[in-house]
Amino acid sequence: MPRRIPLAFGLSALVIAVDQPTKLWAARALAPLGRTGMTVVAGCFNLAYAENTNAAFGILHVLPYAVRQQILTGFALVAAVVLVYVLLSGRVHRTWTAVATGLILGGDIGNVIDRIRLGYVVDFIVWHVGEHYYWPTFNIADSAIVVGVFILLWLSYYVDRQKAPSRQPA
């Protein structure tokens, strides 16, 4: 087994090992503070407990709760199976691809654990500009997924583009 595979699974386990305790902490420490939560950096960064029953950016919010949970949990489980298959199939040839895949897998599983255990995903990280422009609240698992996706985009756009033969007009 190439060393990239244990790296991916190790990163996935690390993401879960950081994500789940931080969500537990948020539920215990931040939930009693209400929607305002705790200011970390005035005007741009707060920690506030939120229960997210939707997908990213409220996608599927029009569906009934039970249907939405089944779809989101099912999709996340299928994604986890596909990522594990990709890792074990020998299709991961770069260390950075393994890193990205491990981050995405760990984030996916971290959020699936919440959906199965609680029926929602615990979010608590709030970035904002002043008091009017807020980014959607997120968590460590979401962060890992986003970083993993950006790594894959970077690899596919910049690295693959540099390796591709240039096309010069005749």
Residues annotated catalytic, as ranges:
123, 142
Q: Name, in order, each residue with C-beta under 8 angstroms of 28's C-beta and a sequence gap of 6 or more.
A: none
Dump the DSSP string for 120-154: SEEEEEEEEETTTEEPPPB-HHHHHHHHHHHHHHH
Report the distance separating Cα 28 and Cα 95, nearest Å.
37
CA 83 to chain centre: 14
CA-closest candidate to residue 144, choices 98, 97, 102, 89? 102
- Amino acid type, 22: T
